[in-house]
Amino acid sequence: MEAKSIEDVRELATEDIMSPWKLAWRRLKKNKLAMLGLYILAIMVLLSVVGPLVSPYTMEQMDLSNIQSPPSLAHPMGTDEVGRDVMTRLFYAGRISLSVGLFAVVISVVIGSVLGGIAGYYGGFIDSLIMRIVDIFMSFPFLPLLITIAAVMSDWKVPPQYRMFVVMILIGILSWPGLARIVRGQILSLREQEFMQAAEALGIRDRRKIFRHLLPNTYASIIVSATLDLGSAILTESSLSFLGLGVTPPTPSWGQMVQVARDLYTLQMQPWLWIPPGICIFLTVMAINLFGDGLRDALDPRLKR
């Protein structure tokens, strides 16, 4: 009892001199679920980086005499339609899908929350301007535009391996307007609350008000949006490849690997082809969600554990 209170006091004391980020990190480390998310993510990244290096097969190595075979010792996740090792391809696919997913989400979150924050805080003309841009982005049919971009890239002979970066940026750019509106909507309400009047009275600079006081209160929505976007970005990548924009086969991605379950026969009879990539997408989305929730709690000054 005695010892614990001393511990508490000491903790309080250290908290006072720690920077908010350090503090958040300490809180985060205590959150088991958040750490679980972080570990899962780390393992996924590790596997996709190291996996292909240690695998006895290569991504393109095929074996026409051994196609669509169920999992075995030689192929722990079976083989695909031209006899390639599914597990090796899964690792490779992770490189693509993780980087596309994470980068696209970062792009969309940064643009969306900054523009949403600015629009919501300043209101008036700036809000109108940003929101009309959002309107245009949201009402613009991107299908024809994406087809054009794909055609232009092929005219310029952009090597297929670089098109992945275009895909990341495109997905990011396509998904920010929704988040911008969500953030702005919340900030419209938040800026009228008492704490902002206090901030006003203290004469805090606008930038500080937006990024230190308003945006943190929208983290919850931003994190949900990031989680949703991550899942859809990984799946969207494969839809973009239908427009000729995605990663070019034979380079795999999780989204494309899951697509083989397009017919009921595969769905029923060859689960090794689609369950592993499906689980990978699920785990990634879950990891980001758990970590995101934990991060939000850690950054919330009202929650002191």
Partner 1 sequence: MPGTITKRGEMMRQYITRRLIQMIPILIGISILLFFILQLAPGDIFSTMMNPHMTAEMKEELRHQLHLDQPAYIQYFYWVQGVLKGDFGDSFYFKQPVTRVINTYIWNSFLLSLVSFILSVIISIPIGVISATRQYSRFDYFFTVVALIGISIPSFYFGLLLIKWFSVDLKLFPVSGMMTPGVNFVGMEKAADILYHMALPCIVLTLSSVAGLMRYTRSSMLEVIRQDYIKTARAKGLRERVVIYKHALRNAMIPVITIFGMWLPGLFSGAIITESIFNWPGIGPIELLAVNNRDYPLLMGINLILALLTLLGNLIADITYALVDPRIRLK
Partner 2 sequence: MKKKVPVFLVLLLTAVLILTSCSSSTSGSDQNQPQQQAQQPPAQGSGPVDVSKSESSVVKLIEASNPANLPAAAKNRPDTLIVGTTAPSGKFNPIYADSVYDSYVTELVFDGLLMNDEKGNPTPNVAESWDISEDGKTYTFHLKKGIKFTSGQELTAKDVEFTYTAIADPNYDGPRMDSVMDLVGYDEYHNDKDGKVPKLEGIKVIDDYTISFTLKDVKASALISDFGYGIMSKDYYNFEKGNIQKLKDLFLKPMGSGAYVFKDYKAGQEIDFEANPNYWKGAPKIKNIVMKVTNADTVIQELTTGGVDVDIVAARPENIKMLQDAGFINIIHYPSNSYGYMGWNMRLDKFKDKRVRQALMYGLNRQGFIDAYYKGYGQVCNAPVSLVSWAYTDDINKYPYDPDKANQLLDEAGWVKGSDGFRYKDGEKFVIHWMTYTGSKYVDTLIPIVKDNWGKLGIEVVPELMEFSTLSTKVYDEQNFELYNMAWSLSIDPDPSGIFAISQDVKGGFNSVGWRNDESEKLIEQGLRETDQQKRKEIYQQWIKLANDDLPYLFLSYSDDAYGISSRVKGLKITPYEDWTYYIYQAELVNP
Interacting residue with partner 2 among 218, 259, 284, 289 (CB under 8 A): 259
Interacting residue with partner 2 among 250, 275, 279, 282 (CB under 8 A): 250
Interacting residue with partner 2 among 244, 278, 283, 286 (CB under 8 A): 244
Contacts of residue 86, Cβ cutoff 8 Å, sequence gap at least 6: 75, 77, 78, 79, 80, 257, 272, 273, 276
Q: Is 55 in the site for partner 2 (CB under 8 A)?
A: no
Contacts of residue 190, Cβ cutoff 8 Å, sequence gap at least 6: 120, 196, 214, 217, 218
Among the listed ranges 21-29, 67-75, 83-91, 258-266, the one in contact with partner 1 (CB under 8 A) is 258-266
Q: How far is the CB of 10 from partner 1 (least distance, A)?
A: 27
Among the listed ranges 29-37, 81-89, 129-137, 296-304, the one in contact with partner 2 (CB under 8 A) is 81-89
Q: Which does 289 bind (CB under 5 to 8 A by kind): partner 2, partner 1, none?
A: partner 1
The angle formed by the CA atoms of residues 37, 286 and 54, to the nearest 5 degrees, is 70
Residue 134 corresponds to which amino acid?
V
Q: Is 50 in the site for partner 1 (CB under 8 A)?
A: no
Alpha carbons 132 and 69: distance in angstroms, whole number: 54
User: How many binding residues for partner 1 (CB under 8 A)?
Assistant: 60
Alpha carbons 56 and 213: distance in angstroms, whole number: 53
CB 119 within 8 A of CB 131: yes
Alpha carbons 108 and 228: distance in angstroms, whole number: 12
Among the listed ranges 7-15, 93-101, 181-189, 267-275, the one in contact with partner 2 (CB under 8 A) is 267-275
Distances, alpha carbon 84 to alpha carbons 61, 66, 98, 272, in Å: 6, 9, 21, 13
Q: Which does 75 bind (CB under 5 to 8 A by kind): partner 2, partner 1, none?
A: none
- In the bound state with partner 1, the residue whose beta carbon lies nearer, of 77 and 281, is 281
Which residues here bind partner 2, judged by CB under 8 A?
60, 62, 64, 67-68, 81-84, 147, 150-151, 154, 157, 159-160, 241-244, 248-250, 259-260, 262-266, 269-270, 273
